[in-house]
Amino acid sequence: MAIQEVVSDLVANVAQVQVEVGEHVEIGHELVLLESMKMEIPVLSEVAGTVAAVRVSPGDVVQEGEILVVLS
């Protein structure tokens, strides 16, 4: 399976990380919960796979296009 990098669509704070390295996820699984302008934005998996890396932690500020999670 190809590597899938899940990126942020906006500048936001990381409220929660919902997955751990090695965890299997399906399409639609919530990976990270972002918070921006008092709104919570769930980041969902677009593919099924295994979490190869988590690049953010709660409290981090992420930029648009920044990699959040890597799936394989």
pLDDT value at residue 1: 59
User: What is the pTM (predicted TM-score) of this model?
Assistant: 0.93
Per-residue pLDDT 10s for the chain (72 aa) are 579 999 999 999 999 999 999 999 999 999 999 999 999 999 999 999 999 999 999 999 999 999 999 999
pLDDT for the residue numbered 2:
79
Which residues lie closer than 8 Å to 39 by C-beta, 6 or more apart? none
Map tokens 């677009």 to a residue: 46
Report all structural domains of the chain as residue ranges with CATH numbers, in order of start: 4-71 (2.40.50.100)
Provide the 8-state DSSP code for 57: -
- pLDDT at residue 17, as a whole number: 98
